[in-house]
Amino acid sequence: MYVAGIEAFLAIVQTQSLKKAAELLNLTQATVSYRLKILEQEMGAVLVERGKGIQKIALTPFGENFVTIAERWSKLKTDIEKLQASGPQLSLAIGGSNSLNTYVLPPLYRALTQHSPRIRLQFRTQHSMELWDTMERREIDVAFVKMERTVPSIEVEPFFVDRAVLIRPATPETGELQPIHPTELNCEYEIYCNWGPTFQMWHDRWWDPARAAHIPVDVVGLVFSLMQDSRQWSVLPQSVAVAFVKTGQFVIQQLLDPPPERVCYKITHRNIKPSVKKSLDILDQYMTELFKK
């Protein structure tokens, strides 16, 4: 479709004059007439009545029917130009485990939401095992998990190391707490959250799993809700414990012979979609800045 001809035609319709249409488009009248002629040749029909004795611009029946189509075409052209001006559209689908999404990754996510040009973000919270499967199905572009697996199609790299600490309710009598050994803890008052196989092995070394009387939870937020008794305690990653302490209701106590440090991993598909590569590069830049601290 002859775009310049459509612009000339709509200017003629708007101004009802070849001369005024030329002024509107900052063209000569001869140029407007030429563009209209080329458009009519392309359409195979006369759009504007012209001839001796015709003082006022008038549309032919075909021209009247063409006005609506020309206006739609003009709007479509404008929309295309706006899209082109906005540059490449960035998007990123991110998955993360509940504890990482809640207590570790928010600074990274805030940085991404403020990036310019804007990145269209999607977030998904799942258990680490589920996130591996979701990544294999290519439903997300990057995920942050608490466990490592060997999957040929997936790249794995550690991005964060978290040590474990003891957390317990703060009381008016709570002073400076000395490090405590697991043997000094009564498992009847434990609120237990399983942080992975290495944590489970460490836990089973001190407390018999067959006789454990602890309260098990599968979401760390429940620790916050359930821990009311001053005798209660839980072993949590320090990143989570710090968030609890900020409420003023809990205190951290260091552990003697603590669990192994928790290693968290970033996973991506080996065959990265070209459309998200730039977004992943931006993500990596923010990760370098944030987790270096």
3-state secondary structure 66-132: HHHHHHHHHHHHHHHHHHHHCCCCEEEEEEECHHHHHHHCHHHHHHHHCCCCCEEEEEEECCHHHHH
Give the mean pLDDT of 180-184. Answer: 94
205 in helix, strand or coil?
helix
pLDDT of residue 147: 87
Lowest mean pLDDT among 71-80, 138-147, 156-165: 71-80
Give the mean pLDDT of 35-49. Answer: 89
**Residue range(s) in the chain whose domain bears CATH number 1.10.10.10:** 3-85
Q: What is the largest CA-CA distance in the chain?
A: 109
By C-alpha distance, which of 164, 84, 90, 144 is closest to 267?
A: 144
pLDDT of residue 52: 62
Between β-strands 164-169 and 250-253, what pairing exists: parallel, antiparallel or unpaired? antiparallel
Confidence of residue 51 (pLDDT cuts 50, 70, 90): low
154 in helix, strand or coil?
strand
Give the mean pLDDT of 174-188. Answer: 87
CATH architecture classification, 90-161+263-291:
3-Layer(aba) Sandwich (3.40)
Taking all residues of the chain, what is their mean pLDDT, rounded to a whole number? 88
Give the mean pLDDT of 73-99. Answer: 83
pLDDT at 30 over 80: yes
Confidence of residue 55 (pLDDT cuts 50, 70, 90): low
Which tokens hold the place of 150? Answer: 């060997």
**Residue range(s) in the chain whose domain bears CATH number 3.40.190.10:** 90-161+263-291, 164-260
- 164-260: in CATH 3.40.190.10: yes
Give the mean pLDDT of 121-146. Answer: 94
Fold of 3-85: Arc Repressor Mutant, subunit A (1.10.10)
Give the mean pLDDT of 160-165. Answer: 91
pLDDT of residue 195: 85
Give the mean pLDDT of 124-140. Answer: 93
Give the mean pLDDT of 44-50. Answer: 87
Give the mean pLDDT of 135-154. Answer: 92
Who contacts 4 (Cβ-Cβ below 8 Å, separation ≥6)? 35, 38
pLDDT of residue 53: 55
Confidence of residue 293 (pLDDT cuts 50, 70, 90): low
CA 33 to chain centre: 52
